[in-house]
Amino acid sequence: MTKILILGGGGMIGQKLARRITEHNIFDGVELTLFDRAFPKNGVITKTVMGNIADATMAQTLAASRPDVIFHLAAIVSGEAETKFDLGWDVNMMAMWHLLNAIKTEHDASEGTYRPRVVFTSSIAVYGGPYPDKIDDSFLSAPLTSYGAQKAACELMITDFSRKGFIDGISLRLPTICVRPGKANAAASSFFSGIIREPLNGIVAVLPVADTVRHWHASPRVAAQFLTHAATLDTDLLNGRRALNLPGVSCTVAEQIEALRNAAGQDAVDLIKLKLDPTIMQIVDGWPRDFNPKQAVALGFVAESSFDEIIKVYIHDDLKA
């Protein structure tokens, strides 16, 4: 029986992950707890805990239940972390600090036998330009957003707490997850999903950047697969490099739109309206465009191979649901 805790379990990825864990026999019997500020109606049916991840006492309570695997997905998204500076650092960095220290307390109390797997959703926002054509595994992390800086700081803590043996951690620098179901969120990347999702639902979508923008994507389904793969991986194979660039699809917005045309025709494409937004353009301009994620590929992480495929996943998993 594996005791699993998902922080941010009420969010879109958290729910996909919870569903994957309950529907597939990955862990050979699980006791699953989801933690979040709120949960969706009709969400995954399992034990849930409501609370604020930035509360140090809450971190202690969560660690005291000694989960075998902790998925840390809880975050203030990039756009909000940019406008609410203090909140972003508090939730995106200090909460990790509290959590790791709470786990260390349990580790010490157990005389070192408690050492959970911690899987953290980092982001390609840890990178900042100027970039090479393809970012390889040894390229520097020089974030240009608070969100990226917070994620990168968490990666450092996870690696060091792991090196010391208090946890067995891994940070996944997720591509921009696309096509997100449901409503747009405050992430600066939200439109990448919007321009596909809204037209497929017969709704107008706003494109706030030029269609020449190139970016790096994977589907929510793949994100959930990345997370369970990371939870079951032999971390000795990481050789101490515990923050991974993951595979994904590199394409331009124009190529995304072309894939939409393939899937749903010109009528769908006509629902995309260009309305440039300087704030979003500036944030997105600092984001990576393409990767050569050699280490993750060698470790067996697999993403889609085209944006057409990413759209098909959305249609299958979410549009029809």
Q: Would you tell me which residues interact with its own copies (CB under 8 A)?
A: 85, 128, 132, 137-144, 146, 149, 152-153, 156-157, 159-160, 163-164, 240-241, 243
Residue closest to 167 by CA, chosen among 100, 239, 234: 100
In three-state secondary structure terms, 286 is coil
Nearer to its own copies, 113 or 138 (CB): 138
Integer Cα distance of 188 and 181 in angstroms? 16
Which residues are marked as active site?
A: 147
User: Both tokens of residue 306?
Assistant: 């085209």
Residue 204 amino acid letter: V
Nearer to its own copies, 164 or 294 (CB): 164
Question: What is the closest distance, in whole angstroms, from the C-beta atom of residue 87 to its own copies in the complex?
Answer: 13
Nearer to its own copies, 26 or 142 (CB): 142
Residue closest to 147 by CA, chosen among 82, 244, 65, 230: 82
Question: What is the closest distance, in whole angstroms, from the C-beta atom of residue 115 to its own copies in the complex?
Answer: 15
User: Both tokens of residue 317?
Assistant: 């998993």
37 phi and psi angles, rounded to 5 deg: -75, -30
Kindly give the pairing relationship between strand 214-218 and strand 249-252: antiparallel
Q: Give yes or no for a contact between 211 and 252, defined as CB atoms under 8 angstroms apart.
A: yes
Question: What is the closest distance, in whole angstroms, from the C-beta atom of residue 310 to its own copies in the complex?
Answer: 28
Residue 117 amino acid letter: R
Question: What is the closest distance, in whole angstroms, from the C-beta atom of residue 38 to its own copies in the complex?
Answer: 28
Nearer to its own copies, 116 or 194 (CB): 116
Kindly give the pairing relationship between strand 117-123 and strand 168-174: parallel
